């Protein structure tokens, strides 16, 4: 039982990071009705930025986070202004294809700057110890949990109590009405891409602290995509709960199912199996809204 609870607690922390990354998916989707295929590559860039600031430059974690966020903000603004704003008013498929091209560009940039090599910085994060009875929470997982909760709380406050948050929520409901009252959709889109970039980079730093930075971090975008589909593509709360669920399931599968197979690896696909089963019975996800169009 202790082993099971250990897996659940560690999976909770990991799932919160998945949920944080998935929020970037949801925000872009709600504001522009586009799936950001490049979200996983924001995570990739974040992992390598964490290594660069912590190891070669020797900066403390708080400075690493601040500088990484600054880079993410600039990256999000440039992407929106140079690559996506010219496509405003174009078919959604054109924007989706642009995000696919963006993922290729970011992957190539990571290869160019860091050589696509494995970079570890496990011991560079602060050491935090937490024991719940006989269960101990790894330091990196605990830091990931704390940072994810802080980021999610900040985003919830932004959406609920600021003008730009209200504008983003309104744009998600009806773009034409928002434009009719003088709100610039381009500003909302820019903020949306900045947030998606920031949460992706932060998630990359947190995951890199656990497993190191490598090109496989881009694959986290697929897990975040699974989180979005499971929670409901238009639900921020659903993304958080689905992230926790999938994080726990992945960790439990790694502890109990992987040892049963010669090569292991079932834990990597187990969350997707659960997602498929859920979507068969609930096509809109666990917390998605069913949209009815009358013609």
For 198-255, write each residue's pLDDT tens digit. 999 998 888 888 888 888 888 877 778 888 888 877 777 888 888 888 888 888 888 8
Domains annotated on the chain, with CATH: 2-281 (1.10.3470)
CB 25 within 8 A of CB 196: yes
Residue 2 CB-density burial (10 A; 0-12 exposed, 13-18 middle, 19+ buried):
exposed
Q: Which residue has the higher pLDDT, 181 or 97?
A: 97
Q: What is the mean pLDDT of the chain?
A: 82
Task: Characterise 19 by phi-psi region: left (phi > 0), alpha (psi -120 to 50), beta (else).
Answer: alpha
Q: Is the pLDDT of residue 83 over 80?
A: yes
What pLDDT is stored for residue 174 in this prediction? 66
For residue 62, the tally of other CB atoms under 10 A from its CB is 9
95-109 per-residue burial string, b: 16 or more CB within 10 A, e: under 16: beebbeebbeebbee
Identify the pLDDT of residue 229. Answer: 82
Tell whether the model's pLDDT for residue 77 goes beyond 80. Answer: yes
Q: Calculate what percentage of the chain has a pLDDT beyond 70.
A: 90
More confident residue, 131 or 114: 114
The SS3 assignment for 265 reads coil
The pLDDT, as a whole number, for residue 290 is: 57
Q: Map residue 213 onto helix, strand or coil.
A: strand
Sorting pLDDT into bands at 50, 70 and 90, what band is 291? low
Calpha distance 4→11 (Å, rounded): 10
pLDDT at 88: 74
């Amino acid at each position: 039982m202790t082993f099971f609870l250990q897996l659940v607690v560690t999976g909770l922390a990991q799932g919160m990071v998945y949920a944080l990354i998935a929020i970037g998916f949801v925000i872009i989707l709600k504001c522009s009705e586009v799936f950001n295929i490049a979200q996983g590559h924001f995570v990739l860039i974040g992992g390598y930025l964490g290594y660069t600031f912590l190891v070669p430059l020797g900066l403390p974690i708080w400075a690493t986070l601040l500088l990484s966020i600054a880079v993410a903000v600039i990256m999000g603004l440039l992407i929106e202004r140079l690559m996506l704003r010219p496509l405003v008013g174009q078919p959604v498929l054109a924007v989706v294809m642009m995000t696919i091209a963006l993922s290729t560009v970011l992957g190539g940039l990571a290869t160019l700057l860091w050589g696509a090599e494995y970079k570890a910085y496990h011991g560079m994060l602060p050491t935090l110890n937490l024991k719940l009875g006989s269960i101990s929470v790894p330091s990196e997982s605990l830091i990931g949990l704390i940072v994810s909760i802080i980021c999610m709380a900040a985003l919830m406050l932004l959406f609920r109590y600021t003008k730009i948050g209200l504008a983003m929520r309104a744009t998600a409901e009806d773009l034409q009405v928002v434009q009719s009252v003088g709100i610039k959709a381009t500003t909302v889109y820019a903020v949306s891409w900045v947030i998606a970039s920031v949460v992706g980079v932060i998630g990359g730093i947190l995951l890199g602290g656990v497993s190191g930075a490598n090109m496989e971090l881009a694959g986290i975008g697929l897990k975040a995509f699974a989180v979005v589909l499971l929670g409901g593509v238009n639900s921020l709360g659903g993304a958080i709960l689905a992230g926790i669920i999938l994080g726990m399931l992945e960790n439990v599968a790694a502890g109990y199912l992987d040892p049963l197979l010669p090569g292991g690896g079932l834990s990597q696909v187990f969350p997707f199996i659960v997602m498929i089963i859920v979507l068969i019975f609930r096509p809109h996800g666990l917390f998605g809204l069913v949209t009815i169009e009358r013609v």
